[in-house]
């Protein structure tokens, strides 16, 4: 669950336009969220969070309840700040326009920190980094050689890092954009696309979702230069400062690592200097 430089659908273009229009005067209230609240939130005592509800293991519904790494981590951070959480679920591409339009205080949805996005919203320090993967059927012709994607139809989540960096990571592929993971993996199942260029961890869930397809990820791309961060409305420095402090606390007391092991059991376990906070590499978009 990660960025901005290619052609989009009319819906995404409209969302970006709305984002730009609503963000022009975002710094005029001194970074307090427009309410004068000392925590930088719109409603005293409550951290309103924008997320997705279909991106396992980040944020998803299970048994009618919203759960996932993102949900548990932001709740733990909010507790450190003495705040209760309230969640709003949207499509991934709508999250940043919505947070800048004051529909909620912060996004928690594995949103990668990029230079274009930093012009639109403010980010906390990075709290999650991992891998990108190309999920495909064994008979697709896609191999561990990145050149094998040339001419192949690859699904991407619109507005994601994968979407906006396809020319770098999967050059020559025909890109097909989808609003969420469910529609993308269904397209893969129905052979409307040859592969799904997505985050490695959510792809593992799709493998389990369709066991009869024997899906594989022959291409893995390190994403350490693209850490995810919590995004807030541009100019809300109060909330960013508090979120950064809360992140350090949940890392120090072991909460972050506990959640990481719970939701990413197949990933290498980071230790020492491999723990957050993470900083995006300069020059990466």
Task: Kindly give the confidence (pLDDT) of every residue in the chain, 285 residues in length, as a single tens digit, with 9 standing for 90 and above.
Answer: 543 333 333 333 334 333 333 333 333 343 444 444 789 999 999 999 999 999 999 999 999 999 999 999 999 999 999 999 999 999 999 999 999 999 999 999 999 999 999 999 999 999 999 899 999 999 999 999 999 999 999 999 999 999 999 999 999 999 999 999 999 999 999 999 999 999 999 999 999 999 999 999 999 998 888 899 999 999 999 999 999 999 999 999 999 999 999 999 988 888 898 899 999 877 555
- Residue 146's alpha-carbon distances to 1, 129, 143, 201, 219, in angstroms, are 21, 21, 7, 19, 7
In sequence order, the β-bridge partners of residue 115 are none
- Residue 156 has what pLDDT? 98
- Residue 27 has what pLDDT? 33
Question: Do the beta carbons of residue 92 and residue 160 sit within 8 Å?
Answer: yes
CB atoms within 10 A of CB 110: 28
Residue 16 CA to residue 96 CA, distance in Å, equals 9
3-state secondary structure of 134: strand
Alpha helical stretches, state H, the chain:
10-22, 69-80, 95-100, 115-118, 161-164, 166-169, 181-189, 200-209, 237-252, 255-263
Let me know how long the chain is.
Answer: 285
- Residue 233's alpha-carbon distances to 99, 160, 272, in angstroms, are 6, 19, 31
- Residue 38 has what pLDDT? 84
For residue 125 the two structure tokens come to 């320090």
Residue 273 DSSP symbol? G
| Spatial CA neighbour of 199 closest among 285, 283, 129, 275 | 129
């Amino acid at each position: 669950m990660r960025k901005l430089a290619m052609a989009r659908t009319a819906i995404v273009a409209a969302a970006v336009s709305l984002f730009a229009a609503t963000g022009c005067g975002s710094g005029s209230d001194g970074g307090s969220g427009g309410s004068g609240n000392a925590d930088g939130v719109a409603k005293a005592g409550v951290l309103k969070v924008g997320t997705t509800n279909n991106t396992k293991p980040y944020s998803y519904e299970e048994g009618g309840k919203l759960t996932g790494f993102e949900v548990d981590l932001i709740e733990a951070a909010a507790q450190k700040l003495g705040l209760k959480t309230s969640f709003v679920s949207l499509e991934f591409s709508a999250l940043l326009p919505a947070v800048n339009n004051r529909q909620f205080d912060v996004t928690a949805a594995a949103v990668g920190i990029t230079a274009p996005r930093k012009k639109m919203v403010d980010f906390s320090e990075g709290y999650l980094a991992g891998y990108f993967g190309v999920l495909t059927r064994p008979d697709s012709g896609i191999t561990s050689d990145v050149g094998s994607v040339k001419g192949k139809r690859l699904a991407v989540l619109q507005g994601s890092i994968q979407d906006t960096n396809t020319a770098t990571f999967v050059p020559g592929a025909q890109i097909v954009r989808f609003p969420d993971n469910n529609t993308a993996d269904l397209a893969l199942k129905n052979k409307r696309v040859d592969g799904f260029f997505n985050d490695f961890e959510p792809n593992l869930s799709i493998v389990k979702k369709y066991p009869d397809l024997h899906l594989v990820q022959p291409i893995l791309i390190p994403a350490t230069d693209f850490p995810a961060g919590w995004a807030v409305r541009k100019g809300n420095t109060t909330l960013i400062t508090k979120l950064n402090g809360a992140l350090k606390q949940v890392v120090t007391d072991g909460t972050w690592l506990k959640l990481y092991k719970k939701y990413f059991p197949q990933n290498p376990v980071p230790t020492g200097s491999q723990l957050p906070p993470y900083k995006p590499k300069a020059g990466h978009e």
